[in-house]
C-alpha cells in the first residue's frame, strides 16, 4: 500500500522552464514532508522540507507548495537547469519516538538544453 | 568530513551465497537505516536501529539480517533466503529525536546476483 503517491514518474523540461512534481498522502498523522534529490549512482540528499503549519516554503529556485486540506504537496523548480537532472523523491514522516520515513516512487527529471 | 561510508560500491553474488554490506557513519547519529531501491518502487525500508544492540524490521525485512554492535556501524547481510536480491542498497542515519528530521544517506551498494 503506497502511503505517498508521487507523479509523474518521469518528466522532461526545457532549460529555463518550470518543473512540477506532485505528491499526495492519506495519513493525517504525517507532519514532516521532505524532498530528496538523487543523482545517478549516488545516495539521495535532502533538498527542501516543509511542515504542515505553512503553505509554502522557498529556497532559491526550489519551492514546496503544501495543501493540508487536500493532503497534497508539490515541488516546483523554477528556471530549471541541466544540472537539476536527477531523480526526486517526496517523502512523509510522523513523530513517535523514532523517525520512519515513507517515500514516493520517485520522479526522474531530465532538463534539456 | 562527516558522513556515511558504504562498501563495497559494487558486489556480485552467486545464488545461494550470503553477502554482507558495510555501513559506517561518523556523524554521531543514534539512528541508522537500510533501504532498498528498485526502479519504479522508490525506497523501501528493510531494517532500522535506534540504539546499539537494538534494531527493528522495516517493511521488507524477509531474507535480510542486521546487527548493531557499535553506534557507528550497521552492517546488512543479504541471505540466500532473499528471493530477489539484485538491487541498489542505501544506508542512512539520522539524529534520534522525537521530532522528524533529515536522513543522511551513503552512496549506496549495488548488488547483482549472477
Mutate to test the interface with B, among A21, A47, A88, A99 (most CBs of B within 10 A): A99
- CA terminus-to-terminus distance, chain A: 38
* pLDDT for A29: 86
Q: Taking 90 as the threshold, does the pLDDT of residue B60 lie above it?
A: yes
Model pLDDT, residue B100: 57
Give the pLDDT confidence score for residue A1 in this predicted structure: 53
Contacts of B105 in chain A (CB under 8 A): 43-45
Q: What is the rounded CA–CA span in Å between residue B110 and residue A93?
A: 26
A42 in reach of chain B (CB within 8 A) = yes
What are the tens digits of pLDDT across the range A8-52?
Answer: 999 999 999 999 999 999 988 888 899 999 999 899 999 999 998
From the list B4, B42, B96, which residue is nearest A103 (CB)? B42
Of A43, A98, A104, the CB nearest to B42: A104
| C-alpha cell belonging to residue A38 | 538523487
Contacts of A69 (CB under 8 A, 6+ apart): none
Higher pLDDT, B22 or B102: B22
DSSP state of B16: T
Rounded to the nearest integer, the mean pLDDT of chain B is 91
**Of A75, A72, A79, A2, nearest in space to A37 by CA:** A75
The H or E element spanning position B94 is strand B87-94
Q: Is the preceding peptide bond at A79 cis, omega within 30 degrees of 0?
A: no
Looking at chain B, which residue has its C-alpha nearest residue A10? B40
List the single residue in A with minimal CA-CA distance to B58. Answer: A100
Q: What is the pLDDT of residue A96?
A: 61
Residues in chain B within 8 Å Cβ distance of A49: 102
- Flag whether pLDDT at A113 surpasses 90: yes
Are A89 and A38 in contact, with CB atoms under 8 Å apart? yes
Residue of A62 and A102 predicted with greater confidence? A62
How many whole angstroms separate alpha carbon A63 and alpha carbon B3?
A: 27
> What percentage of chain B reaches a pLDDT higher than 70?
95
Cβ-Cβ contacts under 8 Å for B104 (sequence gap 6 or more): B3, B4, B25, B27, B29, B92, B93, B94
The answer to whether B89 and B34 are in contact (CB under 8 A) is: yes
- Write out pLDDT tens, residues A54-65: 999 999 999 999
Q: For residue B95, what are the CA distances in angstroms to A99, B3, B82?
A: 9, 13, 30
Higher local confidence (pLDDT), B52 or B102: B52
Contacts of A109 (CB under 8 A, 6+ apart): A10, A11, A12, A13, A19, A21, A77, A80, A84, A85, A86, A87, A88
Which three cell numbers, joined as nine digits, stand for A50? 516543509
Amino acid at each position: 500500500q503506497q502511503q505517498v503517491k508521487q507523479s509523474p514518474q518521469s518528466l522532461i523540461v526545457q532549460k529555463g522552464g518550470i518543473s512540477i512534481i506532485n505528491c499526495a498522502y492519506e495519513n493525517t498523522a504525517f507532519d514532516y514532508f521532505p524532498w530528496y534529490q538523487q543523482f545517478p549512482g549516488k545516495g539521495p540528499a535532502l533538498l527542501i522540507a516543509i511542515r504542515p503549519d505553512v503553505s509554502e516554503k522557498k529556497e532559491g529556485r526550489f519551492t514546496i507548495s503544501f495543501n493540508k486540506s487536500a493532503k497534497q504537496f508539490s515541488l516546483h523548480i523554477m528556471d530549471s537547469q541541466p544540472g537539476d537532472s536527477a531523480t526526486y523523491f517526496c517523502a512523509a514522516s510522523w513523530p513517535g519516538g523514532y523517525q520512519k520515513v515513507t517515500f514516493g516512487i520517485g520522479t526522474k527529471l531530465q532538463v534539456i538544453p | 568530513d562527516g558522513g556515511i561510508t558504504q562498501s563495497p560500491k559494487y558486489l556480485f553474488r552467486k545464488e545461494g551465497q550470503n553477502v554482507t554490506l558495510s555501513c559506517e557513519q561518523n556523524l554521531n547519529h543514534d539512528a541508522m537505516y537500510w533501504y532498498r531501491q528498485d526502479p519504479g518502487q522508490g525506497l523501501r525500508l528493510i531494517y532500522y536501529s535506534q540504539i546499539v544492540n537494538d534494531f527493528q524490521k522495516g517493511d521488507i525485512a524477509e531474507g535480510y539480517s542486521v546487527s548493531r554492535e557499535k553506534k557507528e556501524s550497521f552492517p546488512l547481510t543479504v541471505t540466500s533466503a532473499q528471493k530477489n536480491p539484485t538491487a541498489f542498497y542505501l544506508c542512512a542515519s539520522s539524529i534520534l529525536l522525537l521530532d522528524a528530521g533529515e536522513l543522511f544517506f551513503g552512496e549506496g551498494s549495488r548488488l547483482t546476483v549472477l
